[in-house]
Amino acid sequence: MVIDAVTMKAIRYHSHGGPEVLQVEKVPRPKPAKHEVLVRVHAAGVNPGDWQIRSGLAGNRFPLPYIPGWDVSGVVEEVGPGSSLFRVGDEVFGMTADSGACAEYVAVPESQLAHKPAALSHVQAAAVPMSSFTAWHSLNKQGRLQAGETVIVNGAAGGVGHFAVQLAKQAGARVIGVTSGRNADFVRGLGAGEVLDYTAAPLEGTPWQADLAIDTIGGPNGDMLLETLRSGGRLVPVTFGHYNAEKAAARNVTVNEVQLLQISKTTLETIANMFDKGDLRVALDMVVPLEETRRAHERSESRRARGKIVIEISR
């Protein structure tokens, strides 16, 4: 196979809008800068931020034209100046600094990559970085989770949620997963001791009083989670939602702020080790080729995905 050394195939859009703005184009192939490596992309993970940026919800923070995709798994093709952590041919996974993973090649800071878990394929590994790191950080850093505590995970079957359930269980917590009835068995299989079907019973009526709530859903109904927490409880939102400050104060509940996270090689290595030991697994909802990225965005935007959505670019 002859690879064009000047251009590459990528998904790109020139204006904000629906999935129809996503186009397959020939674009310049990037060169790795100082402390970067060029990765030949095998697969790219899809996250809600991808379609939120595409639709314009992030404003003009990301200049157009824009190549989406933050999560990546692939093989090091070229090492940039001053880079010493990886060699050409290494299988790696991680997160880009400013998107661009929905392409045949992407330049990535070496500090945001780790060697791919041996237990995972590239497709599986591409589904891991942002969601697993967000779950890990929400539980352990923001949530200060302790063994023996009770954790409620809202959106337990989703990308971040299905990792949060597993990580909380690994930490020795009692886990309650909030999901639809169709995903109840799936969430129990991840380690949730109890499952609350939000389509059948309101969160406000739950008999459980948790120490920590991880909210992966956000939106206008976040106040409902305050009712699930005991006095002194903590609520960690993964995405933006409405949480009534007066109600939180009256219930003596601490609501954390949404944090913009930067992944690290050390944390990626910790997560990779959990996969290789069999302590963590990833569920794939959909895998599509690069040319069908629109379908992947549509599925993510539906908020009905069970686990992760991945775009496969090369084998």
Q: What percent of the chain has pLDDT over 90?
A: 84
Banded model confidence at residue 40, pLDDT cuts 50, 70, 90: very high
Q: Is a pLDDT exceeding 80 seen at residue 146?
A: yes
Instruction: Assess whether pLDDT exceeds 80 at residue 260.
Output: no
Confidence of residue 5 (pLDDT cuts 50, 70, 90): low
Tell me which of 13-17, 124-128, 243-247 is least confident: 243-247
- pLDDT average, residue stretch 151-162: 96
Distances (CA, A) of 158 to 123, 133, 175, 269: 17, 14, 15, 23
Q: How confident is the model at residue 289 (pLDDT cuts 50, 70, 90)?
A: very high
Contacts of 153 (CB under 8 A, 6+ apart): 161, 164, 165, 168, 175, 176, 177, 178, 192, 213, 214, 216
The answer on pLDDT for 292 being more than 80 is yes
pLDDT at 190 over 70: yes
CA distance 102 to 27: 12
User: Residue by residue, what is the 3-state secondary structure of the chain?
Assistant: CCCCCCEEEEEEECCCCCHHHCEEEEEECCCCCCCEEEEEEEEEEECHHHHHHHCCCCCCCCCCCECCCCEEEEEEEEECCCCCCCCCCCEEEEECCCCCCCECEEEEEHHHEEECCCCCCHHHHHCCHHHHHHHHHHHHHHCCCCCCCEEEEECCCCHHHHHHHHHHHHCCCEEEEEECHHHHHHHHHHCCCEEEECCCCCHHHCCCCEEEEEECCCECCCHHHHCCEEEEEEEEECCCECCCHHHHHHCCCEECCCCCCCCCHHHHHHHHHHHHCCCCCCCEEEEEEHHHHHHHHHHHHCCCCCCEEEEECCC
Mean pLDDT of 265-269: 94
Bond preceding residue 207 cis, omega within 30 of 0 = no
210-226 pLDDT tens trace = 999 999 998 888 888 99
The pLDDT of residue 118: 97
Distance CA 62, CA 56 (A): 9
| Cβ atoms of 67 and 100 closer than 8 Å | yes
Q: What is the mean pLDDT of the chain?
A: 94
CB 18 within 8 A of CB 91: no
Cα distance between the two ends of the chain: 13
Rounded to an integer, the average pLDDT of 97-112 is 96
Query: For residue 142, what pLDDT band results from cuts at 50, 70 and 90?
Result: very high
Q: Residue 188: is its pLDDT beyond 90?
A: yes
Distances (CA, A) of 149 to 25, 139, 218, 227: 50, 11, 23, 17
pLDDT band at 1 (very low <50, low <70, confident <90, very high): very low
Which pLDDT belongs to residue 88? Answer: 98
Residue 293 has pLDDT above 90, yes or no: yes
Is 26:104 a contact under the CB 8 Å cutoff?
Answer: no
Q: CA neighbours within 13 Å on the CB side: how many for 209?
A: 7
pLDDT > 80? residue 144: yes
Residue 243 CB neighbour total at 10 angstroms? 18
The pLDDT score that the predictor gives to residue 2 is 40
**pLDDT band of 200, cuts 50, 70, 90:** confident
